[in-house]
């Protein structure tokens, strides 16, 4: 009975010892993985991260040789990124800058074979791992001086592509790996692969950010040049256009002699074309001033009723030519707001002219009232209307509504200028429409002058 009791106790002790040993291995593995995880969190750049991983493995296991090589993005070549040795002086020729990359199509290099198969390999010699990155003779000398007896080549493979290899040169045979080492390698490869991919992604983002920053700087410079060109060109065009307008006016008025009906009709078309060119030039000048920060706004208290009424009377003739009814409903009380007189006239002119231009039949109505501390002005027409897509981008530069295909004299700048001028005067501009063919309403709001 005594012997049986002793045997049972020994069995229990052996099992406890085995479990303690297993638990110790797992604890050590978890501790190392925690260190590696800390490395991957701290080091964002690929080279820095790889070097930290190699140094951590070398410090933990005192291997004669540890190295990591990474594949290029196309999966064609492997380049060495970091090395660590027990005695750093023993490998002076291991320089990542000078070592040649390895073609992954190689049939003799152990790293290429491991990556293509996706399985770990035990290399016959260190030379079969490092050649042709360094001369085979150098690899043999280093292997002998470092006491390397076997070399493990562990592929780092993601779900989508090969990432690289972890190479471990040991002073014993691979079959003599401890349980701790086996457990570490099984757990570590995935972590290293993910960490390297993260670092590579970060590096790509850094490069892309730098490229975008440089491209943005160039675009800003080009945009400034474009704005300056528009300003100069517009100023140069303004004078001859004004001269043309003046002479056309003299001809149409008969001051320079009587005209035949066909000549008068032709002059009318020329005058309309000149007006459109002047409008375009004025818009280009406004855009150049807005974008270059040279837009000057001189705000003064003004009664908006007279300004809107004056613009409506000016547009009245054009509305009558198109068979439209143009009305302007104004309140009896003054509608005072701080505005730039010239710019608010330009805003009113733009909206009323657009309403007439985009309305084939029916009416255009301008209204004004005070509401919630704002002077509200609306211009409503029974014209072509706007789609939801139109409304989303209508006030952008060089954007026109879908109905503009039926109107040949639009610049795509008017409403952009309207909104920018309103914002400069502290107001707002917006648009609304039920849909195509249902007309539209443009709304301006000015803060009431106090």
Number of domains in the chain: 3
- One domain for residues 155 and 267: no
- Rounded alpha-carbon distances, angstroms, from residue 418 to 27, 323, 425: 71, 26, 11
Q: Is 109 within a domain? A: yes
Q: Is 9 within a domain? A: no
| Burial of 241: CB neighbours in 10 Å, binned 0-12, 13-18, 19+ | middle
Q: What is the mean pLDDT of residues 107-127?
A: 91
User: Domain containing 388 — which CATH number?
Assistant: 3.30.565.10
- One domain for residues 138 and 253: no
CA–CA separation, 160 and 177 (whole Å): 30
- One domain for residues 43 and 192: yes
Neighbours of 237 (CB within 10 A): 16
Q: What is the pLDDT of residue 369?
A: 96
Q: How confident is the model at residue 153 (pLDDT cuts 50, 70, 90)?
A: very high
Strand partners, 363: 325
- One domain for residues 307 and 283: no
- One domain for residues 439 and 337: yes
Q: How confident is the model at residue 220 (pLDDT cuts 50, 70, 90)?
A: confident
Give the rounded percent of residues in the chain with a pLDDT score beyond 90. Answer: 30
* 162 in Cβ contact with 69 (< 8 Å): no
Q: What is the pLDDT of residue 111?
A: 93
256: which DSSP letter? T
Reply yes or no on whether the pLDDT at 20 is more than 80. no
β-strands 363-371, 162-170 pairing: unpaired
CA dihedral 330, 333, 336, 341 (to 10 degrees): 40
Q: What is the mean pLDDT of residues 253-264?
A: 82
Q: What is the pLDDT of residue 89?
A: 47
- One domain for residues 178 and 239: no
Q: How confident is the model at residue 158 (pLDDT cuts 50, 70, 90)?
A: confident
Q: How confident is the model at residue 95 (pLDDT cuts 50, 70, 90)?
A: confident
User: Domain containing 267 — which CATH number?
Assistant: 1.10.287.130
Reply yes or no on whether the pLDDT at 397 is more than 80. no
- One domain for residues 173 and 228: no
Tokens of 126: 């260190």
Q: What is the mean pLDDT of residues 329-350?
A: 93
Containing domain of residue 335, as a range?
A: 300-447
Q: Is 11 within a domain? A: no
Neighbours of 220 (CB within 10 A): 10
Express each pLDDT in 322-338 by its tens digit: 999 999 999 999 999 99
Q: Is 370 within a domain? A: yes
More confident residue, 321 or 159: 321
CA–CA separation, 148 and 169 (whole Å): 6
- One domain for residues 46 and 187: yes
Q: What is the mean pLDDT of residues 210-238?
A: 75
Q: What is the pLDDT of residue 419?
A: 92
Reply yes or no on whether the pLDDT at 430 is more than 90. yes
Q: Is 372 within a domain? A: yes
Q: Is 146 within a domain? A: yes
Q: What is the mean pLDDT of residues 229-256?
A: 75
- One domain for residues 223 and 314: no
Q: What is the mean pLDDT of residues 237-247?
A: 77
Tokens of 295: 């837009």
Neighbours of 104 (CB within 10 A): 19
Q: What is the pLDDT of residue 290?
A: 75
Radius of gyration, alpha carbons of the chain: 40
Looking at 204, 238, 270, the residue that finishes a domain is 204
- One domain for residues 356 and 383: yes
Looking at 183, 204, 225, the residue that finishes a domain is 204
Express each pLDDT in 352-390 by its tens digit: 999 998 999 999 999 999 999 999 999 999 998 888 888
- Rounded alpha-carbon distances, angstroms, from residue 446 to 141, 216, 303, 307: 86, 35, 11, 13
Q: Is 15 within a domain? A: no
- Rounded alpha-carbon distances, angstroms, from residue 396 to 341, 411, 416, 422: 24, 12, 5, 14
Q: Is the four-CA dihedral 110, 116, 117, 118 of positive or negative sign? A: positive
Contacts of 297 (CB under 8 A, 6+ apart): 340, 343, 424, 425
Q: What is the pLDDT of residue 365?
A: 96
- One domain for residues 48 and 64: yes
Q: What is the mean pLDDT of residues 16-24?
A: 56
Q: pTM to 2 decimals?
A: 0.48
- One domain for residues 420 and 309: yes
More confident residue, 414 or 334: 334
More confident residue, 363 or 185: 363
Q: What is the pLDDT of residue 6?
A: 63
Q: How confident is the model at residue 53 (pLDDT cuts 50, 70, 90)?
A: confident
Give the rounded percent of residues in the chain with a pLDDT score beyond 70. Answer: 83
- Rounded alpha-carbon distances, angstroms, from residue 131 to 93, 123, 124, 136, 350: 13, 12, 12, 6, 76
Neighbours of 201 (CB within 10 A): 12
Looking at 156, 189, 204, the residue that finishes a domain is 204
Reply yes or no on whether the pLDDT at 87 is more than 60. no
Q: How confident is the model at residue 18 (pLDDT cuts 50, 70, 90)?
A: low
Q: Is 271 within a domain? A: yes
Q: What is the mean pLDDT of residues 425-450?
A: 93
More confident residue, 18 or 128: 128
More confident residue, 423 or 295: 423
């Amino acid at each position: 009975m005594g012997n049986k009791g002793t045997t049972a106790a020994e069995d229990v002790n052996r099992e406890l010892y085995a479990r303690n040993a297993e638990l110790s291995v797992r604890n050590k593995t978890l501790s190392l993985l925690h260190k590696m995880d800390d490395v991957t969190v701290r080091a964002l750049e690929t080279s820095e991260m790889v070097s930290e991983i190699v140094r951590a493995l070398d410090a933990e296991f005192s291997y004669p040789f540890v190295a990591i090589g990474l594949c290029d993005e196309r999966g064609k070549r492997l380049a060495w990124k970091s090395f660590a040795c027990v005695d750093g002086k023993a490998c002076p020729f291991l320089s990542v800058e000078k070592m040649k990359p390895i073609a992954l199509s190689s049939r003799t290099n152990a790293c290429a074979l491991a990556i293509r198969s996706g399985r770990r390999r035990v290399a016959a010699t260190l030379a079969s791992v490092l050649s042709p990155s360094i001369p085979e003779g150098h690899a043999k000398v280093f292997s002998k001086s470092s006491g390397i007896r076997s070399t493990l080549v562990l592929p780092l493979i993601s779900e989508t592509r090969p990432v690289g290899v972890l190479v471990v040169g040991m002073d014993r045979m691979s079959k003599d790996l401890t349980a701790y080492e086996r457990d570490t390698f099984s757990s570590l490869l995935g972590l290293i692969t993910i960490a390297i991919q993260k670092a590579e992604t970060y590096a790509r983002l850094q490069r892309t950010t730098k490229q975008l920053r440089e491209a943005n700087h160039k675009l800003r410079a080009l945009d400034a040049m474009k704005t300056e060109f528009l300003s100069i060109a517009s100023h140069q065009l303004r004078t001859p256009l004004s001269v043309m307008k003046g002479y056309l006016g003299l001809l149409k008025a008969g001051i320079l002699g009587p005209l035949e009906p066909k000549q008068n009709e032709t002059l009318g078309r020329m005058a309309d074309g000149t007006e459109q060119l002047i409008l375009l030039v004025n818009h280009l000048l406004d855009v150049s001033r807005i974008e270059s920060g040279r837009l000057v706004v001189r705000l003064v208290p003004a009664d908006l009723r007279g300004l809107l009424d004056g613009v409506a009377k000016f547009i009245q003739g054009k509305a009558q030519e198109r068979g439209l009814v143009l009305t302007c409903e104004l309140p009896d009380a003054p509608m005072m707001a701080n505005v730039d007189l010239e710019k608010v006239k330009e805003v009113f002119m733009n909206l009323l002219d657009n309403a007439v231009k985009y309305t084939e039949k029916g009416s255009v109505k301008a209204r004004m009232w005070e509401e919630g501390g704002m002077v509200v002005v609306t211009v409503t027409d029974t014209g072509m209307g706007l789609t939801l897509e139109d409304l989303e981008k209508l006030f952008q530069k060089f954007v026109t509504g879908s109905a503009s295909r039926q109107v040949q004299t639009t610049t795509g700048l008017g409403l952009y200028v309207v909104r920018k001028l309103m914002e400069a005067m502290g107001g707002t501009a917006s648009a609304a429409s039920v849909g195509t063919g249902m007309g539209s309403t443009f709304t301006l709001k000015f803060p009431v002058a106090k």
